[in-house]
Amino acid sequence: MTVKVEVKNLTKIFGKRVGRAKELIKQGKTKSEILKETGATVGVEKASFEINDGEIFVIMGLSGSGKSTMVRMINRLIEPTDGSVSIDGEDLMKMDKKSLREVRRKKMSMVFQNFGLLPNRTVLENAEYGLEIQGVDKAEREKKAKVALDQVGIKGYDDEYPDQLSGGMQQRVGLARALANDPEILLMDEAFSALDPLNRTDMQDQLLDIQERLHKTIIFISHDLNEALKLGDHIMIMRDGVVVQTGTPEDILTHPANDYVEEFIENVDRSKVLTAANVMIRPVTINIDKAGPRLTLKRMKNNEVSTAYVVDNRRKLVGIVDANDVIGLVRKDSSDLRSIVKTDIPTTHADKPISELLDDISSTGIPFSVVNDDGQLQGIIVRGAVLGALAGNEVNDFE
Amino acid sequence: MNSIPQLPLAQWVDSFVDWLVTFTGFFNGVTNFIGGINNAFQWVFDLIPIWFFIVLVLALTYYVNRDDQRWSLLIFEFAGLLLIWNLDFWRDMTQTLTLVLTSSLIALVIGIPLGILMAKSRIAEIILKPILDFMQTMPAFVYLIPAVALFGIGMVPGIVASVIFAMPPTVRMTNMGIREVPGELIEAADSFGSTEWQKLFKVELPLAKTSLMAGVNQSMMLSLSMVVTASMIGAMGLGTKVYFAVGRNDAGGGFAAGLAVVILAIILDRLTQSLTRDRKKG
């Protein structure tokens, strides 16, 4: 995995006495102390991280955490006070205006929270903007803009004006405008935050879809943990201008770096509200009182699973059987299904909050079985379903 | 107060004007240039037959309002222009129109770049703001005196005085229009690698257009309000008729000429307003 973007000690101080504030940071003073002494606000303090080629890197934080400042320093819309940003090993901070402009034109494009579309231009003309300022001729840029609009699923709106479109459609145009340049890096600043929930989910899916085809490096800013979990290959959590934790979604969920992240996860995610019942799915079950190995094998084949859940006549959970063991049993021409049932499997109750299961779910390979007080099997919980549920997907196929 | 000697402010201004007058060559050049523009407009207006001029105005009105036709305006223009013709004010009207167009054009050519400069530079804004206030609030008569010294009498000093008086709205509204372009659009333009000029012409000016045109409209109205004043130093037109009527205590003649000014003002105002309106929203 090659590193695409490398950020080192990136710092932004807003205000007048920047030099003095910089010294104070070095002395280890806190933000509020610096504000009190110099009147300068520390937007981002010594952030360092790496972004791999072709990944979606989510920078997450609440408002005021410095995440928007951070993304704007990556293309120098905001001039950093200190530190460096390298793209493919090239230091952006050392570039003059002209080379910086070239990088902005060719290497990275930005998508904005409120879309940033020009109201006096049509959809097509908006999508052409990046190419137009590069001096690409009309026919060529129209062709490329149309391809980009097509990629984001907008067709037949070429001559409409942005204010004639819904928010979701407008942001698609914003995304198409960014893609039309064929950049290597996409900067997305709260790109879906202004959309209603349904549209947002749609756009997230579409982004993942586009990403699968185009493999851009995407830096995505969000304040929404669910969005971050859904989109991010890596997530970086910021608070008060400081990077708190960087890791994969599972890292963040299972090993929060400190109380803040933990609280953040608890406050923002749905794991508190969601219980096992919300995320359990229907397992393939075998009635041990009725079925023998051959029927078991057939059912497993039909359902394309390698483990089946064994229950008795009263749907009480007995355990699980593995396909290989069942095959062995069939070869031996034995019908003693009970001999191969594994009984030491993790179980839980339907009303258990997911947050309490997260740790165990990610450490054990075997899905949790949800049983009621009588020991009857109600469903199972698989890892993917939990993460999906946290990201806002409905996985429950009961009822 | 008697113990403090009076400031010789008037003398200072006098000697400044005297000093300016020494640049005769420069001011002659300016006079010829402005006079040239003025004469070109007048030449065209004199060339066009009156009936055809009326048709042109109606056609132009029809064209700029094509998405949202205003028949009452067309009827008003037709009747108003016929009245001016009938009252035998036609040539005066075109002279006034020439003065307004020339001074508006100059105000635009100088005012828009100044407005852009003001929007881009804080220092320019700090310097220009009080100057604009000064230009707009100083009684316009005052400009006439040095204008005569520098540009002689006739149309040109009238135009110069009009430009000074009428330019501020164009500058202010251009500045405001550009400053009010949403920050996200500026960021968008920058993030795609626009040069400063590209940003100005592709984003800022198009978005500032409505505000800018409102400024032009105001400038035009202000320069029209100067015509009577300008007539005192020999700028010909409807203003002269009003000015003479004042001298002769001729209420009727003054009213008739004044009415012609009103008709011209309404036509110019509605036409420039139509240009301002956002067409696509219809």
Looking at the structure, do residues A289 and A340 belong to the same domain, yes or no?
A: yes
Q: CA A344, A348, A350, A352: dihedral to nearest 10 degrees?
A: -170
The size of the A-B interface in CB pairs under 8 A is 64
Q: Which chain B residues are Cβ-neighbours of A101 within 8 angstroms?
A: 193, 195
d(C-alpha A176, C-alpha A206), whole Å: 12
Interface probe for B, chosen from A101, A181, A190 (most Cβ of B below 10 Å), is: A101
Q: Which chain A residues are Cβ-neighbours of B183 within 8 angstroms?
A: none
Domain boundary (A202, A234, A268) is at A268
What b/e sequence results for A216-232 when a residue is b if at least 16 CB atoms lie within 10 Å of its CB, and e otherwise?
bbbbbbbbbbbbbbbbb
DSSP letter at B6 equals P
How remote is the C-alpha of B201 from its chain's centroid?
24
For B202-250, the pLDDT digits (tens) are 999 999 998 999 999 999 999 998 888 888 888 888 999 999 998 999 9
Interface probe for A, chosen from B190, B192, B196, B203 (most Cβ of A below 10 Å), is: B192
d(C-alpha B271, C-alpha B61), whole Å: 6
Q: Give the phi and the psi of residue A374 in degrees, each rounded to 5.
A: -85, 5
d(C-alpha B258, C-alpha B256), whole Å: 5
Mean pLDDT of A267-281: 64
Lowest mean pLDDT among A261-265, A395-399, B70-74: A395-399
Lowest mean pLDDT among A160-174, A220-234, A332-346: A332-346
Domain boundary (A268, A298, A317) is at A268
pLDDT, averaged across chain A: 84
Q: Which chain B residues are Cβ-neighbours of A102 within 8 angstroms?
A: 193
* Domain ranges for chain B: 13-276
For A109-150, the pLDDT digits (tens) are 999 999 999 999 999 999 999 999 998 999 999 999 999 999
Cβ neighbors of A231 (< 8 A, separation 6 or more) are: A56, A58, A204, A207, A208, A218, A220, A222
Cβ neighbors of A125 (< 8 A, separation 6 or more) are: A118, A132
Looking at the structure, do residues A298 and A218 belong to the same domain, yes or no?
A: no
Looking at the structure, do residues A235 and A375 belong to the same domain, yes or no?
A: no
Domain boundary (A268, A293, A327) is at A268
Tokens representing residue B206 in the block: 């198009």
Residue A393: per-residue pLDDT: 53
Q: Report if pTM > 0.90.
A: no
Three-class SS state of A260: helix
Residue B2: per-residue pLDDT: 65
Cβ distance B190 to A77 less than 8 Å, yes or no, reads yes
Top pLDDT among A387 and B71 is at B71
CATH number, residue A64: 3.40.50.300
For B98-154, the pLDDT digits (tens) are 999 999 999 999 999 999 999 999 999 999 999 999 988 888 888 888 888 888 888
Highest mean pLDDT among A250-259, A366-375, B154-163: B154-163
Domain membership of residue A306 (yes or no) is: yes
Residue B197: per-residue pLDDT: 94
Cβ distance B195 to A112 less than 8 Å, yes or no, reads no
Mean pLDDT of B65-93: 90
Q: Give the phi and the psi of residue A78 in degrees, each rounded to 5.
A: -115, 125
A64: left (phi over 0), alpha (psi -120 to 50) or beta: left
Q: Which chain A residues are Cβ-neighbours of B206 within 8 angstroms?
A: 118, 120
Residue B282: per-residue pLDDT: 35
Residue A307: per-residue pLDDT: 84
Comparing C-alpha atoms, which of A341, A279, A271 is closest to residue A311? Answer: A341
Looking at the structure, do residues A314 and A381 belong to the same domain, yes or no?
A: yes
Confidence bin at A389 (pLDDT 50/70/90): low
Mean pLDDT of B27-46: 92
Looking at the structure, do residues A289 and A351 belong to the same domain, yes or no?
A: yes
Domain membership of residue A359 (yes or no) is: yes
Looking at the structure, do residues A239 and A357 belong to the same domain, yes or no?
A: no
Mean pLDDT of A361-367: 72
Residue A274: per-residue pLDDT: 66
Mean pLDDT of A94-108: 91
Looking at the structure, do residues A356 and A307 belong to the same domain, yes or no?
A: yes
Looking at the structure, do residues A191 and A63 belong to the same domain, yes or no?
A: yes
Confidence bin at A399 (pLDDT 50/70/90): very low
Looking at the structure, do residues A287 and A378 belong to the same domain, yes or no?
A: yes
Looking at the structure, do residues A254 and A331 belong to the same domain, yes or no?
A: no
Q: Do A95 and A89 meet the contact criterion of CB atoms below 8 Å apart?
A: no
Domain membership of residue A46 (yes or no) is: no
Q: Which chain B residues are Cβ-neighbours of A110 within 8 angstroms?
A: 187-188, 191-192
Nearest CA in chain B to A73: B191
Looking at the structure, do residues A204 and A61 belong to the same domain, yes or no?
A: yes
Residue A218: per-residue pLDDT: 94
DSSP letter at A316 equals B
Range of the domain at A322: 276-390
Interface probe for A, chosen from B191, B210, B276 (most Cβ of A below 10 Å), is: B191
Q: Do A351 and A370 meet the contact criterion of CB atoms below 8 Å apart?
A: no
Domain membership of residue A320 (yes or no) is: yes
Cβ distance B202 to A129 less than 8 Å, yes or no, reads yes
From B191's Cα to the closest Cα of chain A, the distance in A is 6
Confidence bin at A172 (pLDDT 50/70/90): very high
- In chain A, the DSSP E strands lie at 3-14, 41-52, 56-60, 82-87, 90-91, 108-111, 185-189, 217-222, 234-239, 242-247, 285-287, 307-311, 317-322, 347-348, 368-371, 377-381
- In A275-386, the DSSP E strands lie at 285-287, 307-311, 317-322, 347-348, 368-371, 377-381
Confidence bin at A397 (pLDDT 50/70/90): very low
Tokens representing residue B202 in the block: 């592709």
User: Of A72, A101, A116, which is closest to B195 when you measure between CB atoms?
Assistant: A101
Q: Do A215 and A179 meet the contact criterion of CB atoms below 8 Å apart?
A: no
Cβ distance B188 to A119 less than 8 Å, yes or no, reads no
Looking at the structure, do residues A333 and A207 belong to the same domain, yes or no?
A: no
For A220-272, the pLDDT digits (tens) are 999 888 888 888 899 999 988 889 899 988 788 778 888 888 877 765 555 54
Q: Which chain A residues are Cβ-neighbours of B194 within 8 angstroms?
A: 133
Instruction: Indicate the residue type of A61.
Output: G
Instruction: Indicate the residue type of A330.
Output: V
Residue A267: per-residue pLDDT: 57
d(C-alpha B101, C-alpha B122), whole Å: 31
Q: How many domains does chain A have?
A: 2
- Domain B13-276: CATH superfamily is MetI-like (1.10.3720.10)
pLDDT, averaged across chain B: 90
